[in-house]
Amino acid sequence: MKIQSTFNKKGITLIELLIALVIATITLAGVYRVFISQTKTYAVQDQVVEVQQSVRSAMDIILRDLRMTGFDDDNPTSAINIPIPIGTTLTGLFDNRITMNYEYCNKTDPLNPIYEKHTVVYWVDANSNLRRKRVINDNGTHFSPATPYTICHDPAQAGSTQCPETILQNVNTLNFAYGIDNNMDQVMDDQNGDGIINAADYVASGAVGTARVVAIRVTLTGGPSPTNVDVAKIVSPRTLVSAVTLRNICLR
């Protein structure tokens, strides 16, 4: 009987093992780099969506108040039972700050609605925060006699006469441009005479004068949070521009 030797069978040499380890290391390194790249991309896209949604939400709040500007229920028991003149409907007209007034019917108790005058102010503070302050003057239902009071959204400021809420952080730009009606035809003036009402026909606050403001163009730019430096370097600020007709004024 012939006994076959096992010493001549081929196996894995040390060199082959080292080559396999090198190939596996390179493959794992490539997978890791792809994973890191995808993670950064996700973080950037998530920040982009967050910035866009935050700017859009803040713009919606501003436009909601602007659309209410000058509204008067004309109810004889309301706090504002005469039409609001333009001097008190829009006050404090600036390029980066605005104050508006309108009447609101608080129906928290449907059987006892409360007519309130809302004075709303928007501005950007020193910390780049878009702030909104809402002062309410009712018809004497909350307080007798009627006394202005401020809604506090921050519990830490409850009872304070200065308690604005933060609508948007990391604000780069807040700008108001005004569409005016000089000839009182209830239509926004065509400033450049090209027959088209567009962005070029809005004027800065200093050019409003005694003209009636019938439309407002709002430009709002918000950026990413500066806490994540890497993302902040990649994500550029997002700008949203919207124009709204003050129907409670121009249709009066």
User: Is 56 a member of any domain?
Assistant: no
pLDDT, position 147: 55
User: Is 34 a member of any domain?
Assistant: no
pLDDT bracket for residue 143 (50, 70, 90) = very low
pLDDT, position 79: 58
User: Is 228 a member of any domain?
Assistant: yes
Domain that holds residue 89: 66-250
User: Is 170 a member of any domain?
Assistant: yes
Report the range out of 15-24, 79-88, 139-148, 212-221 with the highest average pLDDT: 212-221
User: Is 47 a member of any domain?
Assistant: no
pLDDT, position 29: 87
User: Is 37 a member of any domain?
Assistant: no
pLDDT, position 226: 76
To 5 degrees, how large is the angle CA 92–CA 95–CA 96?
Answer: 85
d(CA 161, CA 37): 49
Domain total of the chain = 1
pLDDT, position 235: 76
Contact assessment for residue 252 and residue 185, using Cβ atoms and an 8 Å cutoff? no
* Nearest residue to 179 (alpha-carbon basis) of 154, 155, 207, 157: 207
Q: Is the pTM of this model over 0.85?
A: no
**pLDDT per residue over 189-224, tens digit each?**
998 888 888 999 999 999 998 888 999 999 999 988
**pLDDT per residue over 163-182, tens digit each?**
788 999 999 999 999 999 88
Q: String of b and e for 180-215 (b: at least 16 CB within 10 Å)?
A: bbeeeeeebbebeeeeebeeebbbebeebeebbbbb
Which residues are CB-neighbours of 158 under 8 A, at least 6 positions away?
A: 152
More confident residue, 199 or 12: 199
Contact assessment for residue 250 and residue 212, using Cβ atoms and an 8 Å cutoff? yes
User: Is 50 a member of any domain?
Assistant: no
**pLDDT per residue over 49-71, tens digit each?**
888 899 999 999 999 999 999 88
User: Is 194 a member of any domain?
Assistant: yes
